[in-house]
Amino acid sequence: MGYEQQARNAGVDLDMALIRAGNFDTVVEVNDILYVSGSIALAEGGGAIAHAGRLGGDMDAAAGQISARGAGAAILASVHQHLGGLERVKRVIRLTGYVTSAAGFNEQPKVVNGASDLMIEVFGDAGRHARSAIGVAELPLGASVEVEAIFQI
């Protein structure tokens, strides 16, 4: 089964309307590398934020994982829309996850697993990647989690 079908089986809407909250490209392709801008979880159909909040405040780590998975889905939609499909992806190289965190919250790696797990679910071993999970005070649009990615194609 191909990556497209794996993503759809994982519940990813590859055609969702994406949000661009500034003057930048969502995906930049340089040689065989794709750099995907920070992405947030979007409401069904896209176009609006899905999970606003602060981890360790009004959200727990389980809710944060759902938000991170949604950010991962937006990344996959960005790649799909840029390339016209996912089949050219050779591997996921790196994810960087930013987690809006209350003082004392230190489960950022657990939260960002939501995006990491989705990449492995879709790409198998090619979805294994290097990663950072960083706690921050605020994210654009009030998002609870933002994830950026680097892919080899």
Q: Which residue has the higher pLDDT, 82 or 20?
A: 82
Token duo for residue 17: 């309307």
Position 46 scores a pLDDT of: 74
> What's the predicted TM-score (pTM) here?
0.96
| DSSP letter, residue 141 | G
Longest dimension (CA), the chain: 44
Token duo for residue 145: 């989690």
Token duo for residue 5: 């079908």
Mean pLDDT estimate for the chain: 95
The answer to whether 147 and 39 are in contact (CB under 8 A) is yes
At the topology level, CATH places domain 3-152 in 60s Ribosomal Protein L30; Chain: A; (3.30.1330)
| C-alpha–C-alpha distance, residues 55 and 60, integer Å | 6
Position 20 scores a pLDDT of: 80
Domain ranges of the chain: 3-152
Q: How many CB atoms lie within 10 A of CB 21?
A: 12
User: What confidence tens digit (pLDDT) does each residue in 21-62 have?
Assistant: 788 999 999 999 999 999 999 988 777 888 899 999 999 999
User: What confidence tens digit (pLDDT) does each residue in 72-123 have?
Assistant: 999 999 999 999 999 999 999 999 999 999 999 999 999 999 999 999 999 9
| C-alpha–C-alpha distance, residues 132 and 96, integer Å | 5
